[in-house]
Copies of this chain bind each other. A is one copy, B any other.
């Protein structure tokens, strides 16, 4: 999906990773968010006229298409689910603010540590971690585009994190031996993910 498109449906990611990104004419590219399994791609589709960013995949992805009609039905008949959609869009905005903070104020190693924490927390919330480990399909280039660093520097920073035993990262798997330490290395505070919401897991029949 590309900037300027006028898509018809909203996409729900069933499996795989994707990302939102924006590009300047000269090719500079910024990943502005990651979509993990269970995330919804673009709730804004029905209100904003056209996409102000592009969406791309990190891995292969399976999606469900949600139509406008589906949303109208939800809005009419299932207020708690409608609220959950509101919630998801507000949390996305909060994450985006935190990324702004990340790029504006944190050093390279803090930035990367922070991003890894965020991803780990989100995956854990979705039940997709296995103890201290999780899948991690991002390349160093992807990390570079997301953190606003060059890929060479991402490489060096990752080595730093590895040699401090903050992470074990190889072969598309991330292990976080001591989440507390990684969090403090990234000045990470999970507030902004708003995981405390009552009724976070909503059933349609609640």
Contact = CB atoms under 8 A, between A and B. Distances in A.
B93 A32 contact: no
A101 B32 contact: yes
A87 B44 CA distance: 8
A31 to B, nearest CB: 8
A24 B107 CA distance: 12
Interface in A1-31: 3-4, 20, 22, 24-25, 28-30
A21 to B, nearest CB: 9
A49 B187 contact: no
Contact of A103 (B48, B93, B103): B103
Given A30-B105, A48-B194, A187 B25 contact: yes
B105 A28 contact: yes
A104 interface: yes
Given A24-B105, A104-B103, A105-B28, A3 B191 contact: yes
The residue in A25, A89, A191 that gathers the most chain B C-beta atoms within 10 A of its C-beta is A191
Given A148-B103, A187-B24, A90 B30 contact: no
A181 interface: no
Contacts of A4: 191
Interface string A35-65: 0000000011001111011000000000000
Contacts of A47: 83, 86-87, 90
A100 interface: yes
A4 B87 CA distance: 18
- Name the residue among A24, A96, A187 with the largest chain B CB count within 10 angstroms: A96
Given A29-B105, A44-B93, A105-B24, A194 B49 contact: yes
Nearest to A192: B52
A102 to B, nearest CB: 9
